[in-house]
Amino acid sequence: MRDQQLHLLFPHVCLLCRKLLLPGETYCCSSCMAEFDPFSSQDAAEGQLRQTIASHFGEQFLFERGWCRYQFHKKSSLQQVLHAMKYEGLFNIAGSFGFQLGEWILSGGDTEDIDCVVAVPLHPLKKIERSYNQSEKIAEGIAQSLQKPLRRDLLVRKRYTVSQTGLSAQERKRNPEGAFQLAKGAVGRHVLLVDDVVTTGATMAAAASVLREGGAEKISLAAVALAIKE
């Protein structure tokens, strides 16, 4: 916690190694970012995402396209940065991750038919506790990069759920079921649904189900990272 507070006061040092950032670097220096484990290609990322979701949902959860920039490993430098983003108030990291992810999406795919970007919402009580929704901040960066509208008003979390961290695969699958509902407004034909990290896809599946019931014909997925079994 103390290190994160220091970073709020001295934002021009690397969050991980504390070295002074060079021009063009934000939050993490190039050397520390080199320790992250990016997917080699969009096809590799989407293939791994489909395999992960199919292993838990089979044909129950089908999606149009999927983008994840990094492979998530426990006790990695990426985990430290994502933890700071999610729990330590460094929400601007999320916007930076989102913009980078959006640029990566644009570099290799046709996104013209995506109507809007929607973040997986937090329950109001949890949002008060954290003061922000990291997934929404990521979605802001993606929407800015793709030049698509961000629909904050479309999906709400009606049921408070415990964190997915530490739950078994079956518990993760059950935990978000029935947690979401449509708030207001027409659902776009093709929705890009955004979260921070995908582990089993349970949260995405629960949110996507509600969007489909509301009229979305196609759901695509985007996340900063995909958890890798180790």
Residue closest to 142 by CA, chosen among 189, 71, 195, 79:
195
Residue 222 confidence (pLDDT): 98
Which whole-number Å values give the CA distances from 195 to 38, 68, 119, 152, 205, in the listed order? 17, 10, 6, 13, 11
Q: What is the mean pLDDT of residues 203-218?
A: 93
Is the predicted pLDDT of residue 185 greater than 80, yes or no?
no
Is the predicted pLDDT of residue 216 greater than 60, yes or no?
yes
Residue closest to 100 by CA, chosen among 137, 133, 72, 149:
137
Per the model's pLDDT, the better-predicted residue between 80 and 27 turns out to be: 80
- Does one domain contain both 8 and 42? no
Residue 82 confidence (pLDDT): 94
Tell me 113's DSSP state.
T
Domain of 107? 37-88+98-227
Per the model's pLDDT, the better-predicted residue between 208 and 186 turns out to be: 208
| Global pTM exceeds 0.95 | no
User: Has residue 93 been placed in a domain?
Assistant: no
- Does one domain contain both 66 and 3? no
CATH number assigned to the domain comprising residue 77: 3.40.50
8 A C-beta contact, residue 114 and residue 81? no
pLDDT digits (tens, 9 = 90+) for 108-147: 877 889 999 999 998 878 877 888 899 999 999 999 999 9
Residue 186 confidence (pLDDT): 72
